[in-house]
A and B are shown apart, each in its own frame.
Chain A
Amino acid sequence: MSESQRELMKGNHAMCLGAIRSGARAYYGYPITPQNEATEYMSFHMPKAGGSFIQAESEIAAINMVFGAAAAGVRAMTSSSSPGISLKQEGISYIAMAELPCVIANVVRCGPGLGNIAPHQGDYFQATRGGGHGDYRTITLAPASVQEMAQLTYKAFDLADEYRNPSLILSDGVIGQMMEPVDLATIPAKDAPKKDWAVGLGQDKRERNVHTTIYLEPEDMAQMHLKLIDKYDRIRREVQYYEEFRTEDADILIVSYGNSSRVARTAIRHLREEGKVKAGMLRTISLWPYPYRILNEIASNYKAILVLEMNWGQMVEDVRLAIGDKTPIHFAGKHGGLLFTPAEIEEFVCAIDKDPNNPKTAWTPIR
């Protein structure tokens, strides 16, 4: 790797730079806060990179433009925020079924409904369970810094092409809006791979390419399903990204992602400095596939596990799926678009350390 080239950037800008440097040459978007910096950035930088930019008439049109560009073999992207991502779900379902690669970024705001423009993590289920109609999945990566906005978007295009499947960036209003240094050396500009399955010119020299999602005969559809199931299984085995922080000697394990994990990190450091509790964290980077394997392996090393999410409890279900009853699970949520503070996380951790079954935060699906 060459020398580091650090530049101070906004999260949404870093995400777009990561896309362009990975060879993305099509971006279609629609205004929605808190992701407007992405559309604005692309309106200038995408044409400059020789790609196409359109401010679409709707989120629905934007994702269907991405459908066309992806089918035409171009690395294509759209971004939005929660209500806009809901509108894109129809198109994402088609793109997944047509097995086309693209990247969709969700700079999550608070819902349901119009909600507000404050950061939230309420779109976890939508992102990790497919989101639209039918049984499909999107590779979902959750950046926790501006650096990762650039790097994971860059990576998301590679994964999308490798598996011919849409990739999702699940960010939030804080990560999208804040400024941090990005090491540009980690995202060297490259050309997108050529795709022999794309629609395009020169059809007289090859078989024609058709992208469809309709298989009226159940027997034909079943064959398609088996193919997709096999692919998703392969992705599940091969893509499980996470970061372990101070887990080696910890008594309490925090599981978190994105913006919440940043506050958790501060709390863990403080708790250790004060000599109060030895806490550690598993920060999940891929949310689908979820890093079940590592969580299952390490769960019994801890007195209890505390899941932190800025929602009503979504990822906590994946933690439970990973570890069953091995270790007591706790959940602390944050609502309305408010952020965690280190002090309140420390309080939760201390109470759980004292009583690993502390009923105030204990979480179980069995009611």
Chain B
Amino acid sequence: MSDVKTIAEPVQEKLVFDRPKSLTKRGFTYCPGCGHGVIHRLVAELIDEFGVQDRAIGMASVGCSVFSYWFFDCDFISCAHGRAPATATGVKRAHPDAFVFSYQGDGDLASIGMAEIMHAANRGEQITVIFVNNAIYGMTGGQMAPTTLENMVTTTSPLGRDPILAGGPIRMVEILANLDGVAFAARGSSSSPRNILKAKAYMKKAFRSQIEKKGFGIVEILSNCNTNWRKTPQEANKFIDEEMVKAFPLGVYKDVFADKSKK
């Protein structure tokens, strides 16, 4: 396609900050201010840091990140809606030494793909799941998601999500942490540099879970959809910090690497 934007080669004499090797040169197509760009970068940085680019296989889901294979420079499968953990299972069983990850949104993972995520986790599949929760169906134009907050207005909850009729926001990492197959489950946020660094530390453990064959690893990252939330990026990140975290408390819910003697 002619309108593909690529990233220019850096011209600084002394390079202090560069694009991770595991990202292609293609410019992101996400909305300005959206968290996907930052989260993509974190994943790519970790692929580089663990040195697994030559054996990384990604599963793209259905939603805004459907084209994530444009941006990650490794083998990829664009999966059916919600089915990425099942497809990842087929890949990982075929190539146990590959680094297999899925990158899924909240509609994909917590609604239509609920069965696939629960059972992949329960089997302890050696895969890493990056779960981006922005409390809305972004790509289809802002419909209610399973993670939409109570009273939050969306195009299919125009009067606000009514918990009596539509239930409340579903907390996936808390649920998944209860399963024996899960080695690491945590929730971070992309709302500030401090939170982003913390999210990366969580993701690092979810990577290790797979690489050290400890089991299934998942990191949920609260992210903004400023476009469909009808907010500026700044307002949207503030909304994560002030409202979203009340329904979705940040932190580690399961950690096989934790030093149990400290408890």
Contact = CB atoms under 8 A, between A and B. Distances in A.
A91 B83 contact: yes
Interface stretch (A210-218, A221-229, A342-350): A210-218
Interface string A45-79: 00000001010111011101111111111101000
Contact of B88 (A28, A68, A76, A91): A68
Nearest to A203: B54
Given A91-B83, A201-B55, A212-B69, A69 B91 contact: yes
A76 B94 CA distance: 10
B221 interface: no
A65 B90 contact: yes
Contacts of A200: 55, 57, 75, 94-95, 98
Given A91-B80, A203-B74, A211-B76, A69 B57 contact: no
B55 A203 contact: yes
Interface string A189-220: 00000000001111111001111111001001
B180 to A, nearest CB: 16
Contacts of A25: 94
A76 B89 CA distance: 13
Interface residues of A, number: 43
A90 interface: yes
Nearest to B98: A201
Contacts, number: 135
Contacts of A213: 78
Given A64-B86, A65-B86, A201-B98, A26 B93 contact: yes
B96 to A, nearest CB: 9
User: What interface size band does chain B fall in?
Assistant: 35 or more
A199 B90 contact: no
B26 interface: no
Q: Which of B67, B80, B87, B95 has the most CB of A within 10 A?
A: B87
Contacts of A28: 90
Of B54, B57, B67, which is in contact with the most chain A CB atoms at under 10 Å from its CB? B57
Residue with the highest number of chain A CB atoms closer than 10 Å, among B1, B67, B89: B89
Interface string B141-171: 0000000000000000000000000000000
Interface centre among B67, B69, B86, B92 (most CB of A within 10 A): B86
Given A71-B77, A72-B95, A214-B78, A61 B83 contact: yes
A68 B75 contact: no
B115 interface: yes
A366 B87 CA distance: 46
Interface in B49-108: 53-57, 59-60, 66-67, 69, 73-80, 83, 86-95, 97-98
Given A71-B90, A199-B98, 14 more contacts: A56-B119, A67-B80, A67-B87, A68-B87, A72-B91, A73-B94, A91-B83, A94-B79, A199-B95, A201-B98, A203-B54, A203-B75, A205-B54, A220-B1
